[in-house]
Structure 1
Amino acid sequence: MFKGQLTIRAAVLGVLLAVILSAANAYLGLFAGLTVSASIPAAVLSLGLLRLFADANILENNIVQTAASAGEAIAAGVIFTLPALVMLDYWSDFLYFQTVLIAGVGGLLGVIMTVPLRRALVDGSSLAFPEGQATAAVLQAGYGGKAVAGIGTLLVGAGIGALAKLADSGLKVWEGVAETAFSIGQQSSVYVGSYLSPALLAVGYIVGINVALPILLGGVFAWWIAIPLVMAFGGADIATGVAGAEQVWSDQIRYLGVGAMLVGGLAALWTLRGQLFGALKQTGETVLPSQRDLPRRLLVTLLVFLALPMIALYAVLLDSVVGGAMVALLMLAAAFLFSAVAAYMAGLVGSSNNPVSGVTIATILITALGLFMFFGAETAGPASAIIVGAVVCCAAAIGGDNMQDLKAGAILGASPAAQQLAQMLGVIAAVCVLSPVLSLLLHAYGIGVSDAAHPNALPAPQASLMVAVVRGVFGGDLPWGWVIGGGVMALATIALDTVLGRRGSGFRMPVLAVALGLYLPLSLSMAIAFGGLVAWLGGSGAAREGRGLLAAAGIITGEALMGIFIALPVAFFGSSDVLALNIGGLPAAWPGLVLMLGLGLWLWNLARATRGRSPT
């Protein structure tokens, strides 16, 4: 069944790439609040490495990218949630065994719970699974002799991203953010700024204008309308300038994003209810042959095996065996439901655009409210709610990624069972290294709120949002006015998106992208929007599937890996300036601005040159 596919060398290479890509995306997610699918760069790297073996085949390459992409997906689930346990002071560091247990259970649940949906969503529907199709096209093109150019482009992008990160965060040649604030009257200010990060530019390029522009619009409303109004009418105790705008955003305005993400996540569930029930009905009518998918008996055994330690963990946290069992059942139900939602959404918009953070916030809020009602505020309820959300988030992230890989495999004629085993292998490999990577980033840069010891802490936007939600629920001081306001904005955005869809507009307004813009610092949204603009000017969809996509993936990987490399001496010496050159006289931000413009021009040229060609 697996001959020529799940070979030892494919497994080894897949594990190595899963470890590398999980580390890179852990850094990117903590920095930008977004991750991007690793299937295509993993496929290109696999092609380049397996070309050294004369007997390598396309299905073996497909196994490598399947295992490797699991590393990126599980990293997203981890960094969106588990840093919240450190921010809550429940953990002082990323505890190795607990991190492996929580992330591993979530990731394996994501594989197990999407197996029954494969035939309905991949074989029996018209869902596009855009990244799955693109990955298959990359592998097919590679066996047509076109892989070398793609690998070269990816490596050049990685080199540029790495050197830019070294110059910015390591050597301190220029400031990483260009920002200022313009005064309006005596008490109000308008913030303008952008991160000078090639990785953010590349993220915007990959997700495209239809995601990058709504993110920017959400940020513009929050930072150019809501924050100036609060500053003008909020009293004289609010500071002005950049510091004042950031204070208002942190204390009040970001809760608009909480409400918008909650409503957006629930709206996604409601919209997909028919498709999900149809998929489950089809699954019940058709017995999946064990020679193609993993046997059901094995899946049920694994499900029980994974549930037992989580029941014990929740029982210890809540000091109640019954409570632990109830929370574990809630976790399993939410993991199945949201894995299915993520799988369907991946078919619609791709893994990179999959709004798993929205449904995770909904899970955490509902779980926190239930725990508060039944166990009160004096228990480990906040930590329990975060852990439930972490498992669900990991399951949803893997569920979407799993379906993309299975779509690529269906096109290429691969064995689903072999891919499902490769996915599990990639999950296990990645979770074993994420804890030390996160600990390194925590001690080198800090995570969450910046302070004197860590002036440039990684923002970890989603994890910070989870902290705000559980603290608000258990502390009784969640600013419901702003949360409700965000929910109203989400409903208005959904209505606008519906109108645009009925009119056949090429531009849409995805509610969770707008919600993310409401929550992200505007400096992040600006850089992402610039990348989306470059992709649009270069030809948008078709062009972004060419060498420009590989260049962008390389930039992200290079910057992220260099960020981890720089973290080693920073953590060892306890100083963020240990590598600084202390060069005087250079304009603080101009070198970074010039670099961003140059990279934008390069990606635009690649997009224009590869329009209409194959992905490599």
Structure 2
Amino acid sequence: MEKPYIDSNTSLPEITVKAVLLGAALSVVLSAANAYFGLFAGLTVSASIPAAVISMALLRVFKNSNILENNLVQTAASAGESLAAGVIFTIPALVIMGYWEEFNYFETMAIAMCGGILGILFTIPLRRALIVEENLKFPEGVATAEVLKTGEEGGKAVKYLVWGSIIGGLFKLADSALNLWSGLFEKAALVGQKFYGYFSLNLSPALVAVGYIVGLNIAFLVFFGGVITWWIAMPIYIGSNGFDAVAAELVALGSFEKISDVNADNLGGALWSAKMRYLGVGAMVVGGLWALLSLAGSLGTAFKAGISAFKKGGTSMKDQIRTEMDTPMSWVIIAIGVMIVPVYLIYQSAIGDVTVSMTMTLIMVVAGFLFAAVAGYMAGLVGSSNNPISGVTIATILFASILLLTLMGTGNELAGAAGAILIGAVVCCAAAIAGDNMQDLKAGHLLGATPYKQQIMQVVGVVAGALAIPIVLNILLIGNGIGAPTPEQPEALAAPQATLMMSVAQGIFGGGLPWNIIYIGAGIAAAIIAFDQYLKSKGSNFRMPVLAVAVGLYLPFELDSSIFVGGVLAYMLTKATKPNKNIEKGNNAGLLLASGLITGEALMGILIAGLTVGVMKSGGDPNAMRIFEDTSSWPGLIIFGLIIYFIYKTVVKVSKSDE
């Protein structure tokens, strides 16, 4: 067992007024940034380390701050960031499918808050089993603890986060608001009736940052998924059917008004939207089910410990050392019961049938506890950023859709699909928070924090984030648009994960899904799982987690390729900095630059959307800031390359420095 940084007999101020206020404020900021970026890219990353660095920089202004107080600030801040992932992966589906016209504030807030708090409550009985007894890696928790231990260096390192934020924000301003260049580099070619080639690159430094953070292995697998969809499946489909037949099919599906509208430039995007992205649906369902099956044995110990803790009601705090004091189990059980009530009321208002609503609530509780345990265990194995939240949520929505169809019958397609999404939303929020919760508790375990105080601050972060997220979503809905682009909102945020969830739910209730494509996607996933098991048997360092490929299958190629660039950058820097004495400082500088790029671009995107909403409501022209109408991507591509070069040179320089 690791010896904590602060001895259990030493008591330092942890929950202070400034810690609560700063943690809540950072939770709002990071949840807003993650909401924007998740809707844009379909991926989110952990913000624990940036939150820890910001906390250290701000708390240094005050006297008598300490490492445990810093830890509680980042605990609250990262809870808001994780909650945003659970929300944007599911709830936007209700707007995209037309069930809601806007994000209803109370319902959105209540789903996010109840789901997030349930995620915290479900993991409390699992803390000791997964963190102390299993002693899993929890990579982000360990890294956060190390950053907090470095103290002075961490405070100074905030400059890299600031630089990244400024660069990311200015790039987004120049691209989206001023329209100085096109944000998409795209080339397509159609030769005769049979051959189709395509390449695109989204000029978003934030996407490169995602690839940098997740590393080459995951970035390559995401790109590999894109290659399967765009360079293999799509050309085969066009080649086997012929351009004219595919164009006629797209017209029949409503993608175009007439065949003459179809050309090489728009063929790929339309075919991907109508059919090929469903390869990702099939792969994601199989990947989610595989995640559950593969963890069945490992989760046995955790479940037994959790159920045992619930039955016993926990040990009195006075009988425990400070560093093992969890929230009393009797309080946990009461709080779970309290959280279930508003969720049931939301389900009842949406469905209007007591039996169905009670069934939905039961599914939510069982699936929420199950997937909270899965998310907590997976966070310990691979980290929060690589946690298969999408897969387990799709598995939930698939099961819920089938059960609700049995209970409600046909003729209730919209309400039934919405009901499945509402179940999935609470479960997704719970699972997202559970993984983050366990990372933070691991950091606290290493530092010598008091667990129940961390759990209180996680609730603070969830509540702050839940109060802000509906406002952010409505700003983005009006200012950018969410879902498919329209003539009025041509740069709508695609919300890839929420669209995927909607497709599964509506497909079960209303039909119309291209099941042959979904089955092929499921077959691809099965083949990848088999190959990954082969790699595992050989002890290979390179692995193929199926859900990373599934995400790539589903995303537009422009996102896959940009993420891959970031992964290549991470690999090049690993090689370049390996012999240097300050490699860890270099790694932290790169991580903070990358996190800053994501945060800066996301916050600028929200600001631009907010300004657009204000201008529209005042009767002004929302495009008044645009300097050019028709733009080339080349200026943006050059600046994009310079930003990558800047990251490379900065990380290498820091890793060689004598600081």
The 3 A distance-change label for structure 1 pair 613 and 220 is farther
- SS where residue 15 of structure 2 aligns? coil
Given residue 254 of structure 1, which amino acid in structure 2 is its aligned partner? Answer: R
- SS where residue 450 of structure 1 aligns? coil
Match of 2:558 in 1: 523
Q: 1:597 deviation in Å?
A: 1.3
1:325 aligns with 2:361: no
Match of 2:300 in 1: 277
Match of 1:257 in 2: 280
Q: CA–CA distance in 1 between the matches of 2:305 and 2:417?
A: 38
Match of 2:588 in 1: 546
Q: CA–CA distance in 2 between the matches of 1:64 and 1:217?
A: 38
Match of 1:83 in 2: 92
Given residue 77 of structure 2, which amino acid in structure 1 is its aligned partner? Answer: A
Q: 1:284 deviation in Å?
A: 4.8
Summarize deviations over 1:544-600 as a string: whole Å, max 9, x none.
Answer: 84210011001111110000111122122345523112288xx61112111221222
Match of 1:208 in 2: 215
Equivalent of 1:461, from 496, 512, 522? 496
Match of 2:633 in 1: 589
Equivalent of 2:173, from 141, 166, 170? 166
- SS where residue 624 of structure 2 aligns? coil
Q: Are 2:220 and 2:564, in contact at CA under 8 Å, matched by a contact in 1?
A: yes
Q: 1:447 deviation in Å?
A: 0.6
Match of 1:472 in 2: 507
Q: Are 2:14 and 2:72, in contact at CA under 8 Å, matched by a contact in 1?
A: yes
Match of 1:298 in 2: 331
Match of 2:345 in 1: 312
Q: CA–CA distance in 2 between the matches of 1:385 and 1:503?
A: 41
1:50-89 correspondence runs (5 A): 50-89=59-98
Match of 2:652 in 1: 608
1:386 aligns with 2:421: yes
Q: Are 1:538 and 1:605, in contact at CA under 8 Å, matched by a contact in 2?
A: no
Q: Are 1:290 and 1:296, in contact at CA under 8 Å, matched by a contact in 2?
A: no
1:156 aligns with 2:163: yes
Given residue 226 of structure 1, which amino acid in structure 2 is its aligned partner? Answer: A
TM-score normalised by length of structure 2: 0.90
1:598 aligns with 2:605: no
Equivalent of 1:440, from 469, 475, 482? 475
Q: Are 1:539 and 1:607, in contact at CA under 8 Å, matched by a contact in 2?
A: no
Equivalent of 1:133, from 135, 139, 142? 142
1:221 aligns with 2:228: yes
Summarize deviations over 1:430-489 as a string: whole Å, max 9, x none.
Answer: 010111100000111111100101001111000111111122111122222111111111
Q: Are 1:48 and 1:148, in contact at CA under 8 Å, matched by a contact in 2?
A: yes
Match of 2:269 in 1: 246
Given residue 22 of structure 1, which amino acid in structure 2 is its aligned partner? Answer: S
Match of 1:36 in 2: 45
1:5 aligns with 2:50: no
Summarize deviations over 1:78-130 as a string: whole Å, max 9, x none.
Answer: 01111100011111000100001111111011000000100011111131101
1:579 aligns with 2:602: no
Q: Are 2:54 and 2:155, in contact at CA under 8 Å, matched by a contact in 1?
A: no
- SS where residue 485 of structure 2 aligns? coil
Q: Are 2:229 and 2:276, in contact at CA under 8 Å, matched by a contact in 1?
A: yes
1:137-148 correspondence runs (5 A): 137-142=146-151, 145-148=152-155
- SS where residue 194 of structure 1 aligns? strand
Summarize deviations over 1:485-541 as a string: whole Å, max 9, x none.
Answer: 111111110111112222222221110000000000000001000001000110079
Q: Are 1:500 and 1:508, in contact at CA under 8 Å, matched by a contact in 2?
A: yes
Q: 1:65 deviation in Å?
A: 0.1
Q: 1:3 deviation in Å?
A: 5.5
Q: Are 1:215 and 1:516, in contact at CA under 8 Å, matched by a contact in 2?
A: yes
Q: 1:147 deviation in Å?
A: 2.5
Q: Please report the RMSD computed on the Cα atoms of aligned residues, expressed in angstroms.
A: 1.9
Q: Are 1:257 and 1:515, in contact at CA under 8 Å, matched by a contact in 2?
A: yes
Equivalent of 2:601, from 559, 567, 570? 559
Q: 1:316 deviation in Å?
A: 3.2
Summarize deviations over 1:260-291 as a string: whole Å, max 9, x none.
Answer: 01110110111111111111223455664353
Q: 1:608 deviation in Å?
A: 3.2
Deviates more, 1:204-213 or 1:498-507: 498-507
Match of 1:194 in 2: 201
Q: CA–CA distance in 1 between the matches of 2:307 and 2:275?
A: 47
The 3 A distance-change label for structure 1 pair 264 and 2 is farther
Given residue 246 of structure 1, which amino acid in structure 2 is its aligned partner? Answer: G
Q: CA–CA distance in 1 between the matches of 2:622 and 2:540?
A: 48
Match of 1:366 in 2: 399
Q: Which has the larger radius of gyration?
A: 2
Summarize deviations over 1:373-413 as a string: whole Å, max 9, x none.
Answer: 22023231111100001001000000000000000000000
Q: CA–CA distance in 2 between the matches of 1:497 and 1:70?
A: 32
- SS where residue 455 of structure 1 aligns? coil
Q: CA–CA distance in 1 between the matches of 2:644 and 2:540?
A: 26
Q: Are 2:12 and 2:66, in contact at CA under 8 Å, matched by a contact in 1?
A: no
Q: Are 1:74 and 1:397, in contact at CA under 8 Å, matched by a contact in 2?
A: yes
Q: Are 2:107 and 2:346, in contact at CA under 8 Å, matched by a contact in 1?
A: no
Q: CA–CA distance in 1 between the matches of 2:170 and 2:308?
A: 55
Deviates more, 1:338-347 or 1:494-503: 494-503
- SS where residue 193 of structure 1 aligns? strand
The 3 A distance-change label for structure 1 pair 611 and 378 is farther
The 3 A distance-change label for structure 1 pair 101 and 283 is closer
Q: Are 1:546 and 1:610, in contact at CA under 8 Å, matched by a contact in 2?
A: no
Deviates more, 1:23-32 or 1:599-608: 599-608
Q: CA–CA distance in 2 between the matches of 1:2 and 1:454?
A: 55
Given residue 452 of structure 2, which amino acid in structure 1 is its aligned partner? Answer: A
Q: CA–CA distance in 2 between the matches of 1:373 and 1:484?
A: 23
Q: CA–CA distance in 1 between the matches of 2:370 and 2:11?
A: 30
Gaps of 5+ in 1: none
Gaps of 5+ in 2: 1-9, 248-261, 318-324
* Identical pairs, percent: 49
Q: 1:233 deviation in Å?
A: 2.7
The 3 A distance-change label for structure 1 pair 378 and 545 is farther
- SS where residue 146 of structure 1 aligns? helix
Q: Are 2:125 and 2:305, in contact at CA under 8 Å, matched by a contact in 1?
A: no
Given residue 566 of structure 1, which amino acid in structure 2 is its aligned partner? Answer: I
